[in-house]
Amino acid sequence: MRRLISSLILAGCFFSATSFSLLPQQYRDFAQAQTADELFYTFYGQKIPLDLRRDTVAVSFKPRNTRSRSIQPLYLQLQQDLRRGGGNTRSIGSNHRSDVDVKPLGENIALVNLPSGTRASLNTVQLQIQKQPYVQEILPILSRKSQSASPETKSESVIVLPNEIVISFAGEMSESQRQIILLRHNLEVLRPLRFSKNRYLVRSKSVSGTEILHVANQLTQVAGVQSATPNFIQATSDHMSQLLATAANLPETPHAAERLQQQLAQLPQPKDTPISSNLLPLQWHLNSTPRRGQLLARTDIRATEAWRNSNGGRGVVVAVIDSLIQWDHPDLVKKTYKSGDRSDKLPGEEYGWDFSSQGEGDADTRLSSQEMSQIQAEFQDTFKLPSDQLLKKYQQLSGILKQRYPKASDSEIAHRIRNLIRAEIGSEFHGTWAAGVIAANSEDKAGILGVAPHTQILPVRVFGLRGAINMASLSEAIGYAASRNVDVINMSLGGLLPDEGLTEQIFDVLDAHRNLVIVASAGNENLDGVGFPAGIPGVVSVGATNMTGNRTFYSSYGGGLDLVAPGGEIQNSLSGGILTTGGTWLDGFWQGMSVPDYAWGLALDPLGKYVQVQGTSFSAPIVSGVVALMKGEDPKRRLSRDEIVSILNQTATYDGLNLSKADANRYRLQKEVGFGTVVDAPVSRPSGIFPKAKPVSAQEYFFGRGLVNADAAVQAVKNR
């Protein structure tokens, strides 16, 4: 029986043109029932419209048998061949060879982009790409345009469309019935999805390109098919780049080590805390008193008080489903959950699993040598190249910034380029950032502390480089984490396309594990209605506040929002961010060059061992850490998920929270015209899940049930 979400709304953007003429006859009748210009897929019967990108394509490469750093990455090889006419191709144009920009996306895909105004056409570029012997196929790129972004940060999303569909069959279907459906639609099974029931990754043997959308749509009409959704490869790096754009003009901090010690000498350590570390006074989200003083209201989660009344989350495991999780960071290395002997243990599994890799995946969620080879050069460019050479090498980015800041000097543009590249590369360790927020605790007490410093993390990687993610991998990752009997799953990811199969998987996992709590970030779109997957019923969605107690400028609100927690803001000061563990301290980033004596970009220190960041991606792990503290006081796991979430809601508070004038006025408008109805309502809810249609107070509209209170939540669990 198909599950239904009762309140759905069409979410998306304007239609774009495509042709159905290449479809087999069995699909044409269904396709012609639609408008012939539509590109879309469905989410519980609702169309999610998509556009075809005309300025860029994706390229998948043939597999190579080595991961050695000594071999040039294929995306760089392709860029060189397209720009300079190497390999088996002629150059695209002698005057415009540098127009083509190639960026890696995950392990085996690259994005080939033509900037506006170039003489070369995309068709010409595709012909040249096809001649390369190492190229497997060219894939279309779709977009779902954001209507919420400001003109300065607005960009089209990147959604790669492979010839893959995730299909879910009804449980009562026999194997022979499934095979008949697959044969009739000319589909072959690539593999069954692991840690999932009745779900398969399939490909079409008769169509390719955008036609796979229509195949998936047609399958949803077939009896016995519970859901069928293209296995989109989404790139979340653009969302992260927009959020971190505020860091583009951050100044460098000279003599960073001395400055940091001077700053710490002026800040008191929180009083009477059983757990401490050198950098704790800077972690305002745990206790804001050192930063705000005794007279101003607390805007933190009262973690230090919770530590006095708890065991710090001992005996609890939190799965971090995210990007690179560098669990050998000194503040995390002793906090990583180690897999024991089990019948379903994956090959080589020890510390979690990497579902972003091809095939069965990888036992290591950390940065590989191959990945280091893809990002090291750009990182080092920002330190080695003088401004004129940097502007020349990154002329496309330079051109964009010069248009955006016409009065900026070349040196100012170069400074912004350095910060943007460093922020982009640093954000590859988004999973390390989230893990640090939850459980960091260094043995020498020289670093930071997580919300639950005695809990353990299970690293589960689903993002490849540049935020590449697909729903098949995410579905497997969620099932894997649940199969390892974790207590909490943290998903600091949002803005994904709503996916029916993933929704079903989360429902299945929640039904099978009554004590498991899943926490997700509400989204950074500044919209009424949380993103996907936070909007799925049963998932705790978390918005973000700043150090002054306001909703952050980016945090989504309204429909589906459960709670808020500190998420940080670095617009006015980097110290307003959430301090956590970074990843650029690895030796490979600094090989062959000197480490600077200044702090740069988001980094607190010259190596980037610690960073100060912003986003609902960090308010979510704060709540996951609070749940870990709560479960640490319930060692026999007597409290169900519903009881834990109920305590979270009941103990949350509006104390210390403030409505900005802009938000107060926004609420007045919504109260008059109806909650959940805004000017751009058709595109305002990325999750595709309609918010609850009921009157709420201004505080609940923007803060859900309030700011999570770790101490009160722990006390309530102990009182049970």
Mean pLDDT of 289-295: 95
Per-residue pLDDT of 339-357, as tens digits, reads 888 888 999 999 999 999 8
* Residue keyed to tokens 């009748």: 29
Tell me which residue of 498, 493, 558, 494 sits closest to 10, measured CA to CA.
498
Residue 241 appears among annotated catalytic residues: no
Longest dimension (CA), the chain: 75
Give SS3 for 510: helix
Length of the chain: 720
pLDDT value at residue 249: 83
- Using CA atoms, how far residue 357 sits from 232, 290, 360, 493, 502, in Å, is 16, 43, 7, 18, 19
Higher pLDDT, 160 or 30: 160
CA 228, CA 356: separation in Å to the nearest integer? 21
Distance of alpha carbon 340 from alpha carbon 346, whole angstroms: 11
Assess whether pLDDT exceeds 60 at residue 87. no
The phi, psi pair for 214, rounded to 5°, reads -70, -30
What does the pLDDT read at residue 240?
67
d(CA 91, CA 96): 9
Position 695 confidence tier, pLDDT thresholds 50, 70, 90? low
- Residue 133's alpha-carbon distances to 61, 105, 112, 246, 384, in angstroms, are 9, 19, 17, 41, 34
pLDDT mean over 310-318? 97
Task: State the pLDDT confidence band at 36, using cuts at 50, 70 and 90.
Answer: very low
Strands 317-322, 488-491: pairing is parallel
User: Considering just the CA atoms, what is the radius of gyration of the chain in Å?
Assistant: 25
Closest CA to 237 of 160, 164, 166, 165: 160
What residues contact 144, with CB distance under 8 A and at least 6 apart? 12, 13, 48, 49, 50, 51, 157, 159, 497
CB 566 within 8 A of CB 301: yes
Assess whether pLDDT exceeds 90 at residue 215.
yes
* Calculated CA dihedral for residues 378, 462, 368, 241, nearest 10 degrees: 10
* Cβ burial, residue 47 (10 Å; 0-12/13-18/19+): middle
- Say if CB 212 and CB 204 are below 8 A apart: yes
Exactly one of 146, 356, 398, 617 is catalytic; name it. 617
Number of C-beta neighbours around residue 341 at 10 A: 5
Average pLDDT over residues 587-593: 97
Contact (CB, 8 A) for 101 and 113: yes
Res 151 pLDDT > 50: no
Cα–Cα dist 556/552, whole Å: 9
Q: pTM higher than 0.85, yes or no? A: yes
Percent pLDDT > 90 in the chain is 71
The residues, ordered by sequence, that sit 6+ positions from 673 with a Cβ below 8 Å of its Cβ are: none
CB 83 within 8 A of CB 97: yes
- Residue 285 a catalytic site member: no
Digit-coded pLDDT (tens) for 474-533: 999 999 999 999 999 999 998 899 999 999 999 999 999 999 999 999 999 998 889 999
Distance between CA atoms of residues 321 and 474, nearest Å: 8
The region of weakest confidence among 24-38, 202-216, 255-269, 294-308 is: 24-38
What's at 40, amino acid-wise? Answer: F
SS (H, E, C) 691-703: CCCCCCCHHHHHH
DSSP codes of every residue in 660-704: -HHHHHHHHHHHHH-TT--TTGGGS-TTSBPPP-S---HHHHHHT
User: Scanning the structure block, which residue is given the tokens 């005309």?
Assistant: 54
Asked if pLDDT for residue 683 goes beyond 50, the answer is: no
- Of the residues 322, 331, 508, 711, only one is catalytic, namely 322
Proportion of the chain in helix, strand, coil states, percent, rounded to 5: 35, 15, 50
Mean pLDDT, range 571-579, rounded to an integer: 91
Amino acid at 253: T
Q: Give the pLDDT of residue 95.
A: 44
pLDDT at 586 over 90: yes
Two structure tokens written together for 602? 């988001």
User: Who has greater pLDDT, 241 or 369?
Assistant: 369
Is 442 a known active-site residue? no
Query: Which stretches does DSSP call E strand in 99-195?
Result: 101-105, 109-113, 135-139, 141-143, 158-160, 165-169, 187-192
Range of weakest confidence among 20-34, 312-326, 352-366, 543-557: 20-34
Q: How far apart are CA 527 and CA 267, in angstroms?
A: 36
**Which pLDDT belongs to residue 693?**
53
To 10 degrees, what angle do helices 74-84 and 122-130 make?
Answer: 120
Please give the full DSSP string across 238-280, using - where no structure is assigned. Answer: HHHHHHGGGGTTPPPBSSHHHHHHHHHHTSPPPTT-SS--TTG
Q: How far is it, in rounded angstroms, from Cα 192 to Cα 378?
A: 38
What tens digit of pLDDT does each residue of 431-446 get? 999 999 999 998 899 9
**pLDDT at residue 37 in the model:** 66
**Residue-wise pLDDT tens digits, 107-140:** 899 999 876 655 567 788 889 999 999 999 999 9
Question: Which 8-state DSSP code applies to residue 8?
Answer: B
Q: Which of 79-93, 212-226, 286-300 has the lowest mean pLDDT?
A: 79-93
**How far is the C-alpha of 390 from the C-alpha of 368, rounded, in Å?**
27
What angle separates helix 710-719 from helix 616-632, to the nearest 10 degrees?
30
Q: Which helix (H) or strand (E) holds 80?
A: helix 74-84
Query: Which of 185, 214, 285, 430 is flagged as catalytic?
Result: 430
Q: How confident is the model at residue 38 (pLDDT cuts 50, 70, 90)?
A: confident
What stretches of 341-467 adopt beta strand conformation (E)?
353-354, 456-461
Strands, E, within 25-75: which ranges? 40-43, 46-49, 51-52, 56-61
Q: What is the pLDDT of residue 5?
A: 40
pLDDT band of 10, cuts 50, 70, 90: very low
Say if residue 204's pLDDT is above 50.
yes
Average pLDDT in the chain: 87
Question: pLDDT digits over 13-25, tens only?
Answer: 222 222 323 334 4
CA distance linking residue 353 with residue 364, whole number of Å: 6
Among 43-52, 158-167, 339-348, the range with the most confident prediction by mean pLDDT is 158-167
